[in-house]
Structure 1
Amino acid sequence: MPDSPAPTRTRPADAALNTGLGRLLLFVYGVFALSASARALVQIATHFSEARLAYLLSAVAGLVYISATVGLAVGGERGRLIALVSCSIELLGVLIVGTLSVADAVAFPDDTVWSHYGSGYGYVPLVLPFIGLWWIWRHRPQS
Protein backbone atom coordinates (compact mmCIF):
# COMPACT_ATOMS: atom_id res chain seq x y z
CA MET A 1 0.00 0.00 0.00
CA PRO A 2 1.57 3.33 -1.05
CA ASP A 3 2.15 6.00 1.53
CA SER A 4 -0.67 8.47 1.48
CA PRO A 5 0.01 12.08 2.27
CA ALA A 6 -0.87 13.22 5.74
CA PRO A 7 -4.31 14.78 5.90
CA THR A 8 -4.30 18.54 5.98
CA ARG A 9 -6.66 20.69 7.93
CA THR A 10 -9.02 22.55 5.69
CA ARG A 11 -11.79 25.00 6.26
CA PRO A 12 -14.95 24.76 4.27
CA ALA A 13 -15.43 27.42 1.59
CA ASP A 14 -17.94 29.28 3.75
CA ALA A 15 -15.65 29.03 6.81
CA ALA A 16 -17.92 30.72 9.35
CA LEU A 17 -17.77 34.05 7.54
CA ASN A 18 -21.21 34.99 8.88
CA THR A 19 -21.07 33.45 12.36
CA GLY A 20 -19.79 34.89 15.63
CA LEU A 21 -18.20 38.28 15.02
CA GLY A 22 -19.22 37.82 11.38
CA ARG A 23 -22.86 38.22 12.42
CA LEU A 24 -22.04 41.50 14.12
CA LEU A 25 -20.15 42.66 11.02
CA LEU A 26 -23.08 41.60 8.87
CA PHE A 27 -25.42 43.64 11.09
CA VAL A 28 -23.19 46.75 11.06
CA TYR A 29 -22.72 46.55 7.29
CA GLY A 30 -26.48 46.14 6.90
CA VAL A 31 -27.13 49.23 9.02
CA PHE A 32 -24.60 51.23 7.02
CA ALA A 33 -26.04 49.93 3.73
CA LEU A 34 -29.48 51.13 4.76
CA SER A 35 -28.40 54.44 6.28
CA ALA A 36 -25.93 55.46 3.54
CA SER A 37 -28.34 54.50 0.76
CA ALA A 38 -31.31 56.24 2.37
CA ARG A 39 -29.24 59.36 3.06
CA ALA A 40 -28.00 59.46 -0.53
CA LEU A 41 -31.50 59.00 -1.96
CA VAL A 42 -32.91 61.81 0.18
CA GLN A 43 -29.99 64.12 -0.60
CA ILE A 44 -30.17 63.45 -4.34
CA ALA A 45 -33.96 63.79 -4.44
CA THR A 46 -34.20 66.97 -2.38
CA HIS A 47 -31.13 69.14 -3.09
CA PHE A 48 -28.80 67.44 -5.53
CA SER A 49 -27.64 70.71 -7.13
CA GLU A 50 -26.16 71.95 -3.83
CA ALA A 51 -23.45 69.28 -3.48
CA ARG A 52 -23.46 66.87 -6.42
CA LEU A 53 -20.10 65.28 -5.67
CA ALA A 54 -20.86 64.67 -1.99
CA TYR A 55 -24.27 63.16 -2.72
CA LEU A 56 -22.98 60.91 -5.49
CA LEU A 57 -20.22 59.71 -3.18
CA SER A 58 -22.86 58.94 -0.54
CA ALA A 59 -24.65 56.83 -3.15
CA VAL A 60 -21.41 55.02 -4.02
CA ALA A 61 -20.80 54.37 -0.32
CA GLY A 62 -24.31 52.95 -0.03
CA LEU A 63 -23.69 50.58 -2.94
CA VAL A 64 -20.37 49.46 -1.44
CA TYR A 65 -22.01 48.76 1.92
CA ILE A 66 -24.83 46.85 0.20
CA SER A 67 -22.36 44.66 -1.70
CA ALA A 68 -20.26 44.02 1.43
CA THR A 69 -23.43 43.01 3.28
CA VAL A 70 -24.42 40.64 0.50
CA GLY A 71 -20.93 39.13 0.34
CA LEU A 72 -20.80 38.49 4.07
CA ALA A 73 -24.32 37.05 4.06
CA VAL A 74 -23.75 34.73 1.09
CA GLY A 75 -20.40 33.38 2.26
CA GLY A 76 -18.58 30.75 0.25
CA GLU A 77 -16.02 31.55 -2.39
CA ARG A 78 -18.22 34.01 -4.30
CA GLY A 79 -19.43 35.83 -1.17
CA ARG A 80 -15.89 36.05 0.15
CA LEU A 81 -14.70 37.62 -3.11
CA ILE A 82 -17.59 40.11 -3.12
CA ALA A 83 -16.90 41.06 0.49
CA LEU A 84 -13.15 41.31 -0.12
CA VAL A 85 -13.56 43.64 -3.11
CA SER A 86 -16.22 45.69 -1.31
CA CYS A 87 -14.16 46.14 1.86
CA SER A 88 -11.11 47.08 -0.21
CA ILE A 89 -13.09 49.70 -2.14
CA GLU A 90 -14.56 50.92 1.13
CA LEU A 91 -11.10 51.34 2.66
CA LEU A 92 -9.80 53.23 -0.37
CA GLY A 93 -12.98 55.33 -0.48
CA VAL A 94 -12.86 56.41 3.14
CA LEU A 95 -9.16 57.23 2.92
CA ILE A 96 -9.43 59.17 -0.36
CA VAL A 97 -12.71 60.95 0.38
CA GLY A 98 -11.61 61.62 3.96
CA THR A 99 -8.39 63.21 2.79
CA LEU A 100 -10.07 65.22 0.03
CA SER A 101 -12.81 66.48 2.35
CA VAL A 102 -10.19 67.73 4.81
CA ALA A 103 -7.94 69.24 2.10
CA ASP A 104 -10.71 70.85 0.02
CA ALA A 105 -13.76 71.65 2.13
CA VAL A 106 -15.25 73.73 -0.71
CA ALA A 107 -15.63 70.60 -2.86
CA PHE A 108 -17.59 68.99 0.00
CA PRO A 109 -20.16 71.56 1.15
CA ASP A 110 -22.18 68.73 2.71
CA ASP A 111 -20.93 65.59 4.39
CA THR A 112 -20.86 62.08 3.01
CA VAL A 113 -20.50 58.87 5.01
CA TRP A 114 -16.77 58.94 4.28
CA SER A 115 -16.16 62.71 4.77
CA HIS A 116 -13.57 63.53 7.38
CA TYR A 117 -12.85 59.79 7.65
CA GLY A 118 -16.38 59.07 8.83
CA SER A 119 -16.34 61.52 11.74
CA GLY A 120 -20.10 62.03 11.46
CA TYR A 121 -20.53 58.31 12.13
CA GLY A 122 -18.08 58.05 15.02
CA TYR A 123 -15.22 57.05 12.67
CA VAL A 124 -16.86 53.65 12.21
CA PRO A 125 -16.45 53.97 8.40
CA LEU A 126 -12.69 54.26 8.93
CA VAL A 127 -12.39 51.28 11.27
CA LEU A 128 -14.98 48.98 9.67
CA PRO A 129 -13.07 48.03 6.49
CA PHE A 130 -9.99 47.07 8.53
CA ILE A 131 -12.11 44.78 10.70
CA GLY A 132 -13.93 43.42 7.65
CA LEU A 133 -10.71 42.67 5.75
CA TRP A 134 -9.17 41.06 8.82
CA TRP A 135 -12.28 38.90 9.30
CA ILE A 136 -12.31 37.81 5.66
CA TRP A 137 -8.59 36.99 5.78
CA ARG A 138 -8.90 35.12 9.08
CA HIS A 139 -11.74 32.95 7.76
CA ARG A 140 -10.27 32.11 4.38
CA PRO A 141 -10.28 28.47 3.37
CA GLN A 142 -7.11 26.71 4.49
CA SER A 143 -5.49 23.94 2.48
Structure 2
Amino acid sequence: MSTRAPSSRMTGIGRVLVVVYGILALGATGRSLVQIIERFHHAPLAFTLSAVSAVVYILATIALVLASRHPLWYRVAWVAISFELVGVLAIGTLSLVRPDLFPEPTVWSFFGIGYVFIPLVLPFFGLWWLITHRPAVVQAADADSPAVTTR
Protein backbone atom coordinates (compact mmCIF):
# COMPACT_ATOMS: atom_id res chain seq x y z
CA MET A 1 0.00 0.00 0.00
CA SER A 2 1.24 3.45 -0.85
CA THR A 3 2.16 5.86 1.94
CA ARG A 4 1.82 8.81 -0.41
CA ALA A 5 -1.06 11.12 0.47
CA PRO A 6 -3.75 11.29 -2.21
CA SER A 7 -3.37 14.36 -4.36
CA SER A 8 -6.26 16.62 -5.19
CA ARG A 9 -7.58 16.92 -8.72
CA MET A 10 -8.42 20.56 -8.14
CA THR A 11 -4.88 21.89 -7.90
CA GLY A 12 -2.29 22.64 -10.56
CA ILE A 13 -2.62 20.67 -13.77
CA GLY A 14 -5.74 18.91 -12.45
CA ARG A 15 -7.52 22.23 -12.15
CA VAL A 16 -6.48 23.19 -15.68
CA LEU A 17 -7.73 19.83 -16.98
CA VAL A 18 -11.12 20.28 -15.32
CA VAL A 19 -11.40 23.87 -16.61
CA VAL A 20 -10.60 22.81 -20.19
CA TYR A 21 -13.16 20.00 -19.97
CA GLY A 22 -15.69 22.49 -18.64
CA ILE A 23 -15.01 24.94 -21.46
CA LEU A 24 -15.36 22.18 -24.05
CA ALA A 25 -18.59 21.06 -22.36
CA LEU A 26 -20.01 24.58 -22.67
CA GLY A 27 -18.77 25.04 -26.22
CA ALA A 28 -20.02 21.67 -27.46
CA THR A 29 -23.38 22.12 -25.73
CA GLY A 30 -23.91 25.57 -27.22
CA ARG A 31 -22.79 24.48 -30.65
CA SER A 32 -25.00 21.39 -30.71
CA LEU A 33 -28.06 23.25 -29.45
CA VAL A 34 -27.73 25.93 -32.11
CA GLN A 35 -27.10 23.34 -34.83
CA ILE A 36 -30.06 21.18 -33.78
CA ILE A 37 -32.47 24.11 -33.42
CA GLU A 38 -31.50 25.93 -36.61
CA ARG A 39 -30.77 23.20 -39.16
CA PHE A 40 -31.03 19.66 -37.80
CA HIS A 41 -32.56 18.42 -41.06
CA HIS A 42 -29.39 19.41 -42.97
CA ALA A 43 -27.00 17.12 -41.09
CA PRO A 44 -28.77 15.02 -38.44
CA LEU A 45 -25.84 12.62 -37.90
CA ALA A 46 -23.28 15.37 -37.46
CA PHE A 47 -25.47 17.42 -35.14
CA THR A 48 -26.44 14.38 -33.05
CA LEU A 49 -22.75 13.54 -32.67
CA SER A 50 -22.09 17.11 -31.54
CA ALA A 51 -24.77 16.65 -28.86
CA VAL A 52 -23.24 13.31 -27.82
CA SER A 53 -19.83 14.94 -27.48
CA ALA A 54 -21.38 17.67 -25.32
CA VAL A 55 -22.87 15.06 -22.97
CA VAL A 56 -19.52 13.24 -22.81
CA TYR A 57 -17.67 16.47 -21.93
CA ILE A 58 -20.23 17.37 -19.25
CA LEU A 59 -20.01 13.89 -17.73
CA ALA A 60 -16.19 13.88 -17.86
CA THR A 61 -16.03 17.30 -16.18
CA ILE A 62 -18.31 16.24 -13.32
CA ALA A 63 -16.57 12.89 -12.96
CA LEU A 64 -13.10 14.43 -12.82
CA VAL A 65 -14.21 16.82 -10.08
CA LEU A 66 -15.82 14.04 -8.01
CA ALA A 67 -13.41 11.18 -8.80
CA SER A 68 -11.25 11.75 -5.73
CA ARG A 69 -14.30 11.48 -3.47
CA HIS A 70 -15.84 8.25 -4.66
CA PRO A 71 -14.54 5.28 -6.68
CA LEU A 72 -17.73 5.22 -8.79
CA TRP A 73 -16.95 8.70 -10.17
CA TYR A 74 -13.37 7.62 -10.85
CA ARG A 75 -14.73 4.78 -12.98
CA VAL A 76 -17.24 7.10 -14.67
CA ALA A 77 -14.34 9.42 -15.57
CA TRP A 78 -12.48 6.47 -17.11
CA VAL A 79 -15.50 5.44 -19.17
CA ALA A 80 -16.32 8.98 -20.32
CA ILE A 81 -12.77 9.87 -21.29
CA SER A 82 -12.19 6.50 -22.99
CA PHE A 83 -15.42 6.98 -24.95
CA GLU A 84 -14.26 10.48 -25.85
CA LEU A 85 -10.95 9.12 -27.16
CA VAL A 86 -12.65 6.44 -29.26
CA GLY A 87 -15.18 9.00 -30.50
CA VAL A 88 -12.66 11.59 -31.59
CA LEU A 89 -10.50 8.96 -33.32
CA ALA A 90 -13.47 7.29 -35.06
CA ILE A 91 -15.28 10.49 -36.10
CA GLY A 92 -12.00 12.16 -37.03
CA THR A 93 -11.09 9.25 -39.29
CA LEU A 94 -14.60 8.96 -40.76
CA SER A 95 -14.71 12.67 -41.52
CA LEU A 96 -11.51 12.26 -43.54
CA VAL A 97 -12.41 9.10 -45.45
CA ARG A 98 -16.17 9.69 -45.79
CA PRO A 99 -16.72 13.46 -45.73
CA ASP A 100 -20.14 12.90 -47.33
CA LEU A 101 -21.37 11.64 -43.94
CA PHE A 102 -20.60 15.02 -42.39
CA PRO A 103 -21.97 17.90 -44.50
CA GLU A 104 -21.53 20.02 -41.36
CA PRO A 105 -18.65 19.66 -38.90
CA THR A 106 -18.98 18.11 -35.45
CA VAL A 107 -16.80 18.80 -32.42
CA TRP A 108 -14.79 15.69 -33.30
CA SER A 109 -14.66 16.17 -37.11
CA PHE A 110 -11.16 16.13 -38.52
CA PHE A 111 -9.92 15.28 -35.01
CA GLY A 112 -11.24 18.51 -33.53
CA ILE A 113 -9.74 20.95 -36.01
CA GLY A 114 -12.49 23.48 -35.21
CA TYR A 115 -11.31 23.44 -31.60
CA VAL A 116 -7.57 23.62 -32.38
CA PHE A 117 -7.23 19.82 -31.98
CA ILE A 118 -7.92 20.07 -28.25
CA PRO A 119 -10.52 17.25 -28.54
CA LEU A 120 -7.75 14.99 -29.89
CA VAL A 121 -5.17 15.80 -27.22
CA LEU A 122 -7.43 16.18 -24.18
CA PRO A 123 -8.43 12.53 -23.65
CA PHE A 124 -4.78 11.48 -23.59
CA PHE A 125 -4.12 14.02 -20.82
CA GLY A 126 -7.31 12.97 -19.05
CA LEU A 127 -6.36 9.29 -19.04
CA TRP A 128 -2.81 10.11 -17.97
CA TRP A 129 -4.22 12.17 -15.11
CA LEU A 130 -6.49 9.34 -14.00
CA ILE A 131 -3.59 6.86 -14.10
CA THR A 132 -1.26 9.08 -12.06
CA HIS A 133 -3.86 10.36 -9.58
CA ARG A 134 -5.83 7.37 -8.44
CA PRO A 135 -7.96 8.21 -5.40
CA ALA A 136 -7.05 6.48 -2.15
CA VAL A 137 -10.38 4.63 -1.99
CA VAL A 138 -9.69 2.96 -5.36
CA GLN A 139 -6.14 2.08 -4.32
CA ALA A 140 -7.46 0.59 -1.06
CA ALA A 141 -10.15 -1.39 -2.88
CA ASP A 142 -7.52 -2.81 -5.24
CA ALA A 143 -5.30 -3.74 -2.30
CA ASP A 144 -8.19 -5.53 -0.56
CA SER A 145 -9.17 -7.60 -3.59
CA PRO A 146 -7.54 -11.03 -3.80
CA ALA A 147 -4.84 -11.41 -6.40
CA VAL A 148 -5.56 -13.83 -9.22
CA THR A 149 -2.70 -16.11 -10.03
CA THR A 150 -2.36 -18.68 -12.76
CA ARG A 151 -0.02 -21.61 -12.80
TM-score by length of 1: 0.89
Is the CA contact 1:41–1:59 (under 8 Å) kept in the aligned structure 2?
yes
TM-score by length of 2: 0.84
Alignment RMSD (CA, Å): 1.5
Change (3 A) 1:68 1:48: same
**Aligned: 1:102 with 2:92:** no
Look up the match of 2:33.
41
Aligned-residue offset at 1:72: 1.1
Moved over 4 A (4+): none
Q: Which has the higher contact order (CA 8 A, sep 6+)?
A: 1
Identity %: 48
1:85-122: per-residue Cα shift (whole Å, max 9, x none)? 11100000000000000011111001001000001111
Gaps of 5+ in 1: 1-6
Look up the match of 1:3.
none
What pairs with 1:1-143 in structure 2 (closer than 5 Å)? 8-12=2-6, 15-76=7-68, 77-140=71-134, 141=136, 142=139
Aligned-residue offset at 1:75: 2.4
Distance across 2 between alignment mates of 1:137 and 1:90: 16
Is the CA contact 1:36–1:113 (under 8 Å) kept in the aligned structure 2?
yes
Letter in 2 for 1:121: Y
Give the total of aligned pairs.
135
Change (3 A) 1:8 1:135: closer
